[in-house]
Structure 1
Amino acid sequence: MKLTIERAQLLKSLAHVQSVVERRNTIPILSNVKLEARPGSLSLNATDMDLDFVESVLADVARPGATTAPAHTLFEIVKKLPDGSQVEIDHSAEDGLLTLRSGRSKFSLACLPVEDFPVLSGGDLPHGFTLSAAELKTLIDRTRFAISTEETRYYLNGIYLHAATGAAGDVLRAVATDGHRLARVEVTLPEGAAGMPGIIVPRKTVNEIYKLIGETDSDVTVSLSETKLRFAFGDAVLTSKLIDGTFPDYERVIPADNDKYLDADVKVFASAVDRVSAISTEKSRAIKLSLEKGTVRLSASSPENGSAEEELEAQYDSTPLEIGFNSRYLLDILGQVEGETARFAMADAASPTVVRDQADSGAIYVLMPMRV
């Protein structure tokens, strides 16, 4: 294998593939990236056995071939080469080394046999549809903050993606919850998605696809089965295993009869929450909302730091209510509201609160209160 490639193109692809590779591996081949040169292009492939990423980039290929090289080491080398430089990659089966040259720099890296590299991207994926990058970004961006990190409840360690019927008709819905808060966001159901099974997309896959779609405007082709999911866009393909578990019936935790409504200016309210919470303890991050007609008073206190209080004008016409929240969870939800106003629907100090984005009827957030 012998080829020449622009540093910028190689670095961009290596940045994508090396983030899939775990820093510590008990299986040596999983620390490597598979490099496959074909006429006119170089394909880079990395996997951790649960997630597989392949990307092709333009290259001037003098001799086709394939090998594997240490992903993180290769990335660090290319990152430190001068901007605008050309990179020559040469691999000979005789010495088993990958030689990388750029200007006066030369590096030799040990390789592992390409035959040992696992193949994850095969298999039949019977369901398929196409989403715009913006739609997929919306589904992920506005729900991923609520993904659980508690490994014992592994079925909550991802985003539940499924077809559903919403107020505006058939929708593709993304849901995430960690037991303290819940995010539910939807887009119009794309053609071909009607018969898809409900799937749980793992947290690592969610984070990787989110980084990738931030760099593209092209449509994303989604293919899936009950055990595997594939995203394809541009010259990149991401294949992932799914979480094997049953996502809880989230509809049961979304209250339908909360009758105390607070309408608040998102930016003003979020800023006040952020200021007042500076006094709360690092562990609980507790903040109290005292609601009366026309006003909401935010307060926090801690034995170490003292107390804080701020009063805001707000639309509230129900009976007085005091309710406590984790300020970080509250700010996470307010950060997802795209409109100017957020509507809080409450029942009492112990029941879940529903937060709606007044500019997007398809987005619903649920926040569990806490004692303060």
Structure 2
Amino acid sequence: MKFTIKAKPFADAVTAVGNVSERRNTIPILSNMVVEAATGMVTLRATDLDLELTLTAPADVTDPGVTTVPARLLSDIARKFPGGSDIAFTMSDSQSVTVSSGRSRFGLHTLPVEDYPSFAAGDFANEFHLTGEALFSLFEQVQFAISTEETRYYLNGIYLHTMDDGGRSVLRAVATDGHRLARGQVEAPSGSAGMKGIIIPRKTVGEILKLAKAAGQGEVAVETSDTKIRLSFGGTVIASKLIDGTFPDYERVIPKANNRFAKVDSKTLSLAADRVATISSERGKAVKMSIEPGQMKLVVNNPDSGDAEEMIDIDYDADPLEIGFNANYLKDVLAVMGPGETTVNLEDAGSPALFTNEKAKDLLIVLMPMRV
């Protein structure tokens, strides 16, 4: 096998595919990626047995072939060559390859491609298309709420499903860690109707976000089955197993009777919470909000360090209320809400708060209170 390719696109491709490989692995070959050269193109593929990423890039191929090489090592090498230089990739025997550019040369050991696991995708029941920008927005605004607690594995991803929302068919993404819940949605694309609800794992979501952001207005094909999802971004294809579990009935968590509405500038509240939380304990990070008509006082008391408070102006005309939140969670929520006026729907000190924003009408976030 022998091919020549520009350093910059090769480094980008190898890095993207290499991110799927686990650096420490009990199965040595899973630390490798498949490199296959065919007429006019090179295909790179890596898997961790739960997720597979395949990427195709143009190349000058003089001798077709296929092998596997250490993924992270090849990525590190490719990124250190000047972007405009040419990289020559040569396999002279079945046990090693040579990667060279200019006066630099690297020899890498290979493993037999026959031993590399095949990620069988199977049949997909649904297929629909949407832009990379729409997909990125849908996942990016809810992914912060994905749980990292392995015992509740069914919360370790984004729940994607279609449903009717007031006579409007929507594709909805939901994530929760028990402390906060984020729900985003877009108009349901053609072909998504009747799609069974699926839970996309956290690692897969991270890779999808990278690819969707790069795709921009380009079209993304999404295929789903009961056990797998596959997304095609032009010459890049990502396939993943789904989380085998039942996502909780999140609609029961979303407050329906909150009748106190505090309207506040997102940035003003976020910065104020960040300032007063400076004095809070690393473990607690609790901020108490004392809300009354026209103003909100943020208070932090730390028996070991002292106290802090700050007053900000808000639009509020209901009865006074005191409620506490985790400052870091609050800042995460406001960051996703974006600039402008955010409405905080409240009921009492022990009930969850609902955050909405006129500039993000298809997004809502629920934040559980803290005792302060």
Counterpart Cα distance in 2 of 1:64 and 1:122 = 25
**Superposed displacement of residue 172, structure 1:** 0.3
TM alignment of 1:102-181, pairs within 5 A: 102-167=101-166, 169-181=168-180
- Counterpart check, 1:312 vs 2:315: no
**Superposed displacement of residue 143, structure 1:** 0.3
- Counterpart check, 1:40 vs 2:57: no
- Structure 2 length-normalised TM: 0.98
Partner of 1:79: 79
Give the secondary-structure state (helix, strand or coil) at the position aligned to 2:20. Answer: coil
In structure 2, give the amino acid aligned to 1:127: N
Partner of 1:207: 206
Counterpart Cα distance in 2 of 1:272 and 1:74 = 46
**Superposed displacement of residue 121, structure 1:** 4.7
Aligned 8 A contact 1:90 1:98 in 2: yes
Partner of 2:350: 350
Once the two structures are aligned, what percentage of the paired residues are identical? 49
CA offsets 1:316-360 (integer angstroms, 9 cap, x no match)? 111110000001111111011135111111110001111111223
Give the secondary-structure state (helix, strand or coil) at the position aligned to 1:275. Answer: helix
- Of residues 14-23 and 80-89 in structure 1, the stretch that sits farther from structure 2 once superposed is 80-89
Counterpart Cα distance in 2 of 1:104 and 1:118 = 35
Partner of 1:238: 238
Give the secondary-structure state (helix, strand or coil) at the position aligned to 1:215. Answer: helix
Give the secondary-structure state (helix, strand or coil) at the position aligned to 2:336. Answer: coil
Counterpart Cα distance in 2 of 1:11 and 1:348 = 54
Partner of 2:261: 261
Counterpart Cα distance in 2 of 1:334 and 1:281 = 21
- Of residues 115-124 and 316-325 in structure 1, the stretch that sits farther from structure 2 once superposed is 115-124
In structure 1, give the amino acid aligned to 2:194: G
Counterpart Cα distance in 2 of 1:195 and 1:288 = 44
Partner of 1:225: 225
CA offsets 1:226-246 (integer angstroms, 9 cap, x no match)? 100011012100000000000
Aligned 8 A contact 1:339 1:360 in 2: no
**Superposed displacement of residue 361, structure 1:** 2.4
- Counterpart check, 1:274 vs 2:278: no
Give the secondary-structure state (helix, strand or coil) at the position aligned to 1:55. Answer: strand
**Superposed displacement of residue 362, structure 1:** 1.6
**Superposed displacement of residue 131, structure 1:** 1.1
Q: Any stretches of 5+ residues in structure 1 without a counterpart?
A: none
Aligned 8 A contact 1:7 1:85 in 2: yes
- Of residues 274-283 and 45-54 in structure 1, the stretch that sits farther from structure 2 once superposed is 274-283
Aligned 8 A contact 1:300 1:307 in 2: yes
Counterpart Cα distance in 2 of 1:154 and 1:347 = 31
Aligned 8 A contact 2:149 2:156 in 1: yes
Aligned 8 A contact 2:132 2:214 in 1: no
Partner of 1:49: 49
Give the secondary-structure state (helix, strand or coil) at the position aligned to 2:24. Answer: coil
**Superposed displacement of residue 95, structure 1:** 4.9
- Counterpart check, 1:197 vs 2:196: yes
Aligned 8 A contact 2:295 2:314 in 1: yes
Counterpart Cα distance in 2 of 1:267 and 1:102 = 49
In structure 2, give the amino acid aligned to 1:118: P
CA offsets 1:51-76 (integer angstroms, 9 cap, x no match)? 00000001000001100000011111
Give the secondary-structure state (helix, strand or coil) at the position aligned to 1:335. Answer: helix
The change in CA–CA distance for 1:212 and 1:323 in structure 2 (over 3 A counts) is same
Flag as ranges the 4+ runs of structure 1 deviating above 3 A.
Answer: none
Aligned 8 A contact 1:126 1:224 in 2: yes
CA RMSD between the two structures: 1.1
Counterpart Cα distance in 1 of 2:250 and 2:311 = 34
Aligned 8 A contact 2:14 2:71 in 1: yes
Partner of 1:66: 66
Counterpart Cα distance in 2 of 1:318 and 1:175 = 31
The change in CA–CA distance for 1:95 and 1:339 in structure 2 (over 3 A counts) is closer
Aligned 8 A contact 2:276 2:310 in 1: yes
Give the secondary-structure state (helix, strand or coil) at the position aligned to 2:337. Answer: coil
In structure 2, give the amino acid aligned to 1:186: Q
Partner of 1:285: 285
**Superposed displacement of residue 304, structure 1:** 2.5
Give the secondary-structure state (helix, strand or coil) at the position aligned to 1:214. Answer: helix
Counterpart Cα distance in 2 of 1:168 and 1:80 = 54
In structure 2, give the amino acid aligned to 1:153: R
CA offsets 1:161-210 (integer angstroms, 9 cap, x no match)? 00011246110000000000000000000000011110000000001111
Q: How many residues align?
A: 371
- Of residues 332-341 and 14-23 in structure 1, the stretch that sits farther from structure 2 once superposed is 332-341
Counterpart Cα distance in 1 of 2:94 and 2:36 = 18
Give the secondary-structure state (helix, strand or coil) at the position aligned to 1:25. Answer: coil
Aligned 8 A contact 1:52 1:121 in 2: no
In structure 2, give the amino acid aligned to 1:88: A
TM alignment of 1:322-333, pairs within 5 A: 322-333=322-333
Counterpart Cα distance in 2 of 1:53 and 1:202 = 14
Counterpart Cα distance in 1 of 2:97 and 2:60 = 17
In structure 2, give the amino acid aligned to 1:152: T
Q: Any stretches of 5+ residues in structure 2 without a counterpart?
A: none
- Structure 1 length-normalised TM: 0.98
Give the secondary-structure state (helix, strand or coil) at the position aligned to 1:53. Answer: strand
Counterpart Cα distance in 1 of 2:84 and 2:185 = 43
